[in-house]
Structure 1
C-alpha cells in the first residue's frame, strides 16, 4: 500500500543574519512559516531502498536528501525492510523555499508512522541540514542559532503570491557574498512583524541576504518590482532566493495577481498560496 504525504514549502517572514560562526555556519534570527504549496512524497514498504523523482532532474541516490533521510531513519530504527519512495517535485529548485529540506523532514515523519521506533527525529533532521528540523514542527517558528533553535509562533493566516524568475541561487554563494560585504543585521522586530500581519499593514521585515543576491541577479529585482506593480505589499526575497513573495489582502486578490503575473511573465513560476 502506498501512502502520499504533503511536503510544504516555507518562506522567511524576515531573515536576519547576526554574524558568522567559527564552524562556518551563521547565527540567524528568522520567522519561518510553512505554506499551502509544496512537493509530495509517495512511500511504500519494499525489500530495498529506492527513490524516483517526478517533475525534476534530480539524483536518486545518496546525493538526494530524501534518500539520505530514509536511509538514516531505517538505520536508526533498526528496520531491516526497505522503502520505495516517489518524490513529486512541484517547487522550483534552489529557490529559497526549503523544498529539499521539507522533502527530507516529511520523509522522516512518514517513516516514523510506517515504522514506529524510539528515534530522535530532531537530531537526524539537524544532521541532514539546518532547515530540516523546522519542517518537523509543521507550524511557524522563530528560528535562531543555525536554525535549530525553534520557538513556535502563532502567525496570522496570510494570503500571498510567490514568484520565481527562473534563477537558481546557491545558499552557500549567498552567505559567502554576505560575509564578503559584512552585511550582518540586527535581530528582527518579531512583535512588530506579527502585529503588521494581523493588521494587513506593510511589514517591517528584512532579508539580510537580499542586497548581495539581487546585485548579482537582476531578474530577482524584476520579480520584486513585478509583485509591487500588481498591487501586492511588502515584497521580499525568501531565504537565499530566488523566489520572492508579497502579501495580499485575500486569496481572491492573490489569485488575480497570479493571473496578471502569468500573462506578463509567462516564463516565471508563479503561485498563490497562504501561510499554514
Structure 2
C-alpha cells in the first residue's frame, strides 16, 4: 500500500444556484427544491495532515470566519469525526481551514468544506467508505460538492442529476450581510407561496447565447425585502452592465454574468472601487 501523503491541500469550491424553486413544504419541515447548482473556480482551501488526534484550526486572513468554532460545532470537524469513526480509525488529523468565502453567504462554503474534508481523509486513510452516505448525514448540499460538477438538485438537495453547463464568467458581490438559510425559508413560508420548477433547457440555452437567463430565486424576494444591502448589490451588478443579476441560494451573495473573464474582472474592480467594504470577486464556473 502506498504511503499516505504528509499533507494534502484541496480547493473547497464555492457554488452558485442558477435558479432556485421551492416546490413545497414537506411533512418533516424541510422543503422540496428544484435548483441548478454550479461549482466555481474560487473557494476555501483545506489542508489536512495525518496526526494522532483530530484538531481543527481556522485561518481567516481576510477576517471571514475568524470567529468560527474549531470543535464539533464546526461542520469540518463533524465531517472528519464522522469519517474517522466510520473507518474505525484510531488515527486523527490536523486540519487547517483557510477561510476565504464569507460566512452564511449562499455560496455553500460550509458544505463544500465538509465534502472536501471527506475526500481528503479518504485519500489519507483509505477505507472504502460510502462518502455519499456520510455526506447526506452532514447536510443537504454536501453530496453536491462530492459530485464536483454542475447538477440539478431536487428533493432537499440529495437527488442530483449531473449535466453540462456552458463555461460562464461571473461576478460575485457580498455586501457584508449574513443570512441564515433557516430565516430565509421561514420568511418564504410566511408568504405561503411555492414556485414552479425551473425551465432547465431555457436556462442552459440562455447561458449559451447571451440572452437574459430565466432563473428565478424563490428566496430572493423575502430576503431582499428585509436586507437593503442585498438590493444594493443587485443594483450595483446591473449598473456594471452585467447580465441577469440574482441572489445565490439563501443569500446574501449576489452574482451576475459577464461576456468574458476579462470583462468580469473589469466589472469587479469597478464595483469594488465604489463599494470598498463589499466582498467582490470575478470568477468562472468549473
Give TM class, smaller chain: over 0.9
Alignment partner of 2:24 out of 9, 19, 39: 19
Partner of 1:215: 225
CA–CA distance in 2 between the matches of 1:183 and 1:98? 24
User: Aligned to 1:214, what secondary structure does the other structure show?
Assistant: helix
Q: Residue 182 of structure 1: CA displacement?
A: 1.5
CA–CA distance in 2 between the matches of 1:33 and 1:12? 7
CA–CA distance in 2 between the matches of 1:270 and 1:259? 8
Cα deviation per residue 1:80-101 (whole Å; 9 max; x = unaligned)? 1100000000000100000000
User: Aligned to 1:175, what secondary structure does the other structure show?
Assistant: helix
CA-based RMSD: 0.6
Cα deviation per residue 1:39-72 (whole Å; 9 max; x = unaligned)? 0001000000000001022000000000000000
Runs of 4+ in 1 over 4 A off after TM superposition: none
Partner of 2:63: none
Partner of 1:48: 53
Partner of 1:239: 249
Task: Say yes or no: does 1:273 pair with 2:278.
Answer: no
TM-score by length of 1: 0.99
CA–CA distance in 2 between the matches of 1:69 and 1:226? 37
Partner of 2:85: 75
CA–CA distance in 1 between the matches of 2:28 and 2:165? 32
Task: Say yes or no: does 1:110 pair with 2:114.
Answer: no
CA–CA distance in 2 between the matches of 1:137 and 1:16? 21
Task: Say yes or no: does 1:264 pair with 2:274.
Answer: yes
CA–CA distance in 2 between the matches of 1:50 and 1:95? 25
CA–CA distance in 1 between the matches of 2:141 and 2:192? 23
User: Aligned to 1:226, what secondary structure does the other structure show?
Assistant: helix
Cα deviation per residue 1:118-152 (whole Å; 9 max; x = unaligned)? 21111111111101010000100000000000000
TM-score by length of 2: 0.96
CA–CA distance in 2 between the matches of 1:3 and 1:112? 11
Number of residue equivalences: 276
The runs of 5 or more residues in structure 2 that have no matched partner are: 1-5, 61-65
Alignment partner of 2:192 out of 182, 199, 207: 182
Partner of 1:249: 259
CA–CA distance in 2 between the matches of 1:200 and 1:127? 39
CA–CA distance in 1 between the matches of 2:69 and 2:193? 34
Task: Say yes or no: does 1:230 pair with 2:240.
Answer: yes
CA–CA distance in 1 between the matches of 2:211 and 2:68? 40
User: Aligned to 1:9, what secondary structure does the other structure show?
Assistant: strand
